[in-house]
Chain A
Amino acid sequence: MADTPTVSSQPAKPKLTRDPRFRALVFQVLALIAVAAFFIYIVHNTLLNMEQRGISTGFAFLDRPSGFAILQSLIPYSESSTYGRTFVVGLLNTILVSVLGIIFATLVGFLVGVMRLSRNWLISKLAMVYIELFRNIPLLLQIVFWYFAVAFNLPAPRQSLAFGDLVFLNNRGMYVPAPVVGEGFWMTGVALVVAIVAVVLLVRWARRRFETTGKTFHTVYAALAIVVGLPLLVFFATGAPLHWDVPALKGFNFRGGLTVIPELFALTLALTIYTAAFIAETVRSGIQSVSHGQTEAASALGLSHARTLRLVVIPQAMRVIIPPLTSQYLNLTKNSSLAVAIGYPDLVAVFAGTTLNQTGQAVEIIAITMAVYLTLSLAISLLMNWYNAKMALRER
């Protein structure tokens, strides 16, 4: 009992400088300080240089009137609106083209992706040609092609292509009748909301019944009938309070109705076709990742082909598809900034372009623009990650 085994059995406590965990911490803190110092330095240096050169700084310009017109705005905008409003107009235009692009690219992409796997030789080869062609031509060229080579070759306003005197197509855009809401139309809107709530309840009820009794129910048809039927019934019961503002040729061009400008058309088309080619490949790899045994097992259970796809193959394929799909959505949103090449008034063209040039506030405007794209990307990412988590394999 004379010796002290507690000391000898444990290794000697190392010096603090030799402790790998401590050293790692020190170096990380040092690296962090270095990075922070770097950013503080460049911000300071930029401000100093701008002050020395007499360049005005700050965000006060956002309240000044812009004095220029914008081709398309989703909110009321005029030349006397502020630069702040210009920013919002540009942002909404960017969001519009991105959302349209994402919807259409997803539809086309899934269709082509499934076609690529078709047993029909012609369909599968057509899909292959589509993918290889549009995936390998730079997007900018495609945008310029759809705009300068296609949209510009449509006839002039006075020789417009007319579809039943309702829809007109010319090199200034597509003119479609605009709905004008009359008195009492709100009741149809209420009916639609009621119908949607009813469908949600119906789906819940059908699932509970299936789980308890095993009996299936034609939810899809019933839901369709409710969502379409109920508002339609209310619409006619209230005396069809909706009429259409039909475009007509007046002066230089068509007036009235809704206009789809050729810039939006060309940009959406190019973004859709380009991104859909990538999505198609993602979809193909996703479907191919589902083992064929799953399909066989499903048919052994007696599931129909449609139900096999819907209940067995697609849910498993989605797990593979969603992560690369997210990055395609991000790409599409960022690529929409190529709008500037054809004069579509997106954020980059209107804010990081015209506003920057009219005010000269380069640093502030570029900073805001970068922040916007970062936010948009993170939002898409967040949404898709949430969806991914919902679709992920849940082991019970």
Chain B
Amino acid sequence: MKKQRFSVVAAMAVAGMLVMGSAHAGATFDAVKKKGFLQCGVTTGLPGFSAPDEKGNWTGIDVDTCRAVAAAMFGDAKKVKFTPLNAKERFTALQSGEIDMLSRNTTWTFTRDTSLGLNFAGVNYYDGQGFMVSKKLGVKSALELSGAAICIQAGTTTELNLADYFRANKMEYTAITYDTSEETIKGFEAGRCDVLTSDQSQLYALRVKLPKPDDAVVLPEVISKEPLGPVVRQGDDEWFNVVRWALFAQLNAEELGVSSKNVDQMLKSNDPGIKRLLGVEGGFGKFIGVDDKWAYSIIKQVGNYGEMFERNVGQGSPLKISRGLNALWNKGGIQYAPPVR
């Protein structure tokens, strides 16, 4: 009798799996709408990009990109749940549907965009890889680093660029690879390595975590292009559009001079570009399946791109990173969004 019961259970399990079937692509938008909140993958803690503050709220540029998407979807930037992920976990979490989008200073590269079943929705930060060393070493250039031990985070483009750079310049190095950026900075702090390499923005963010930030210097060399941006699963164009345009709305808002402070007055503006962006005319919301006030919600609750930048990594933050490449196209940078029309 025992065996009989077992086979019944097994048969039921198989039947259950068959009913569940395979998840079909194109369902993320509906699924997010239905569950009522956005599940967003972020870093495990990188000041300025995504880190919990003293009150336990997640803050940072990557976090705000998630909030902007939630604002567009639901008219409420708070409808986000965050999943902290390390570099190695991030793509699997997105591929398997554990998260709806990934906003985790992830570099847009060819293989990631084409072979992983993922799509990059845009660039929320233009970065490049650099080196941080202890001042005591007296090193002035990355070209003096031959023979150094270098701390890196495992599974990143940084790891590959580093190898390319040292090989191209015929220099040797010892790679100390850690799983998280916390371990990486701990290794650097303890002197396990002479150099810490990462995207420049991260170097500034990690330097703040050192007991004496002034003892470390960031070398002038930038050895790679690192366009960082939000990622979604391939094959759900509706969802892809929402994420991409939430980011573009913030950039357009900055360009048009609309900020979280003046957005209510701007509703009365006569500028047709502002009217279209804020949903006063045109009714563009339906094209991406959301409310016409989608961009208004983003700007009101999260702010335009410039506000988001200054608050998290710019002059309003301990990182004090200058806009550089991340300035708008008409102000000497390369941040550029297609117009809302």
Footprint of B on A, CB under 8 Å?
A: 24, 27-28, 30-31, 34-35, 37-38, 41-42, 45, 48-50, 52-56, 67-71, 79-80, 148, 152-153, 156, 171-172, 250-253, 255, 262, 340-343, 345, 349, 353-354, 356-360, 362
Residue with the greatest number of chain B CB neighbours at <10 A, chosen from A49, A69, A171: A69
B115 touches A357 (CB 8 A): no
Q: Are A148 and B148 in contact (CB under 8 A)?
A: no
| Number of interface residues, chain B, beta carbon within 8 A | 56
With contacts A34-B10, A360-B116 known, what are 20 further pairs, Cβ within 8 A? Answer: A38-B17, A41-B14, A45-B21, A45-B22, A49-B22, A53-B235, A55-B116, A56-B115, A68-B175, A69-B159, A69-B162, A148-B186, A152-B186, A172-B149, A341-B179, A353-B179, A354-B154, A354-B159, A356-B155, A357-B154
B183 interfacial contact with A, CB 8 Å: yes
**Are B87 and A357 closer than 8 Å at their CB atoms?**
yes
- Asked if B208 CB lies within 8 Å of chain A CBs, one says no
CB distance from A170 to the nearest CB of B (A): 9
* Interface stretch (choices B54-62, B187-195, B269-277, B299-307): B187-195
A152 to B17, alpha carbons, bound, how many Å?
Answer: 50
How far apart sit A171 and B117, CA to CA, in the bound complex (Å)?
A: 42
Q: Tell me how far the C-beta of B24 lies from the nearest C-beta in chain A, rounded to whole angstroms.
A: 7
Given A49-B23, A357-B155, A360-B91, residue A156 in contact with residue B191 (CB < 8 A): yes
Contact A343 B177 (CB under 8 A): yes
Chain A residues whose CB sits within 8 angstroms of the CB of B117 once the complex forms: 50, 53-55
Cα distance A359–B21 in the bound complex, in angstroms: 27
Instruction: Tell me the interface secondary structure of chain A in the complex.
Output: helix
Q: Tell yes or no: B178 within 8 A of A by CB.
A: yes
Q: A27-B4, A52-B235, A54-B117 are in contact. Are A353 and B11 (CB under 8 A)?
A: no
Name the residue on A nearest B158 (C-beta): A68
Q: Select one of A34, A42, A152 contacting B7, CB under 8 A.
A: A34
Nearest 6 pairs between A and B by C-beta? A357-B155, A152-B190, A69-B175, A53-B117, A34-B10, A55-B117
Give the distance to chain A from B31, nearest Cβ to Cβ, in Å: 15
Q: A52 contacts B10, CB within 8 Å?
A: no
A353-B88, A356-B155 given; A71·B3 CB < 8 A: no
Cα–Cα, bound, A30→B164 (Å): 56
**C-alpha gap A27/B11 in the complex (Å):** 12
Cβ B149 vs Cβ A253 within 8 A: yes
Q: List 13 A-B contacts (CB under 8 A).
A: A28-B3, A41-B14, A42-B17, A45-B21, A55-B95, A68-B177, A69-B175, A71-B174, A262-B192, A354-B88, A357-B156, A360-B95, A360-B116
Which B residues lie within 8 Å of A349 (CB)?
154, 177, 179
Closest B residue to A144 using CB positions: B183
User: Does A24 contact B3, Cβ atoms closer than 8 Å?
Assistant: yes
How many A-B contacts at CB < 8 Å in the complex?
Answer: 151
Rounded to whole Å, the gap between the CB of A27 and the closest CB of chain B is 4
Contact of B163 among A30, A42, A45, A68 (CB under 8 A): A68
Asked if B265 CB lies within 8 Å of chain A CBs, one says: no
Q: Which B residues have a C-beta under 8 Å from some C-beta of A?
A: 3-4, 6-7, 10-11, 13-14, 17-18, 21-25, 87-88, 91-92, 95, 111-112, 115-117, 137, 146-149, 154-156, 159-160, 162-164, 167, 173-179, 183, 186-187, 190-192, 194, 233-235
CB-based contact B115/A354 at 8 Å: no
Q: Within 8 Å CB of B233, what residues of A?
A: 53
Cross-chain contact of A52 among B7, B14, B22, B164 (Cβ < 8 A): B22
**Contacts A52-B22, A360-B111: A71 and B6 contacting too (C-beta < 8 A)?**
no
A341–B187 Cα distance when bound, in Å, is: 12
B7 / chain A contacts, CB cutoff of 8 Å: 27, 30-31, 34
A152 near B192 with CB under 8 A, answer yes
| A171 partner residues in chain B, CB cutoff 8 A | 190-192
Closest chain A CB from B217 CB (angstroms): 16
- How far, in Å, is A215 (CB) from chain B's closest CB? 60
Minimum CB–CB distance from A55 to chain B (whole Å) comes to: 4
A27-B3, A70-B175, A172-B149 known; A148+B87 contact, CB < 8 A: no
Residues of chain B within 8 A of A68, CB atoms compared: 159-160, 163, 175, 177
Partner of B179, one of A45, A251, A340: A340
What's the minimum C-beta distance from A296 to chain B, rounded to whole angstroms? 49
Select which of B10, B13, B87, B160 is within 8 A of A67 by beta carbon: B160
Whether A356 contacts B88 by the Cβ 8 Å rule is: yes
- Chain B residue nearest in CB terms to A343: B178
Among candidates B25, B146, B177, residue contacting A71 with C-beta atoms closer than 8 Å: B177
Q: Report the Cα distance A38→B10, complex, angstroms.
A: 8
Give chain B nearest CB distance to A56 CB in angstroms: 5
**With A and B bound together, what is the CA distance between A26 and B51 in angstroms?**
59
Q: Given A34-B14, A38-B17, A360-B112: A53 and B25 within 8 A (CB)?
A: yes
**Which partner residue on chain B sits nearest A51 by CB separation?**
B117
Q: Which residue, A24, A38, A252, A255, has most C-beta atoms of chain B within 10 A?
A: A252
Find out whether the CB atom of A251 lies under 8 angstroms from the CB atom of B192: no
| CA gap between A341 and B175 in the complex, in Å | 16
Q: How far is the CB of A34 from chain B (nearest CB, A)?
A: 4
Q: Which residues of A contact B22 (CB under 8 A)?
A: 45, 48-49, 52
A49 CA to B156 CA, complexed, in Å: 26
Bound Cα distance from A345 to B148, whole angstroms? 18
The smallest beta-carbon distance between A94 and chain B, in angstroms, is 16
Chain B residues within an 8 Å CB radius of A252: 137, 147-149, 194
Are the C-beta atoms of B155 and A353 separated by less than 8 Å? yes
- B95 close to A362 (CB less than 8 A): yes
Give A356 to B91 CA distance when docked, in angstroms. 10
Q: Say yes or no: B175 contacts A53, CB within 8 Å.
A: no
CB distance from A63 to the nearest CB of B (A): 15
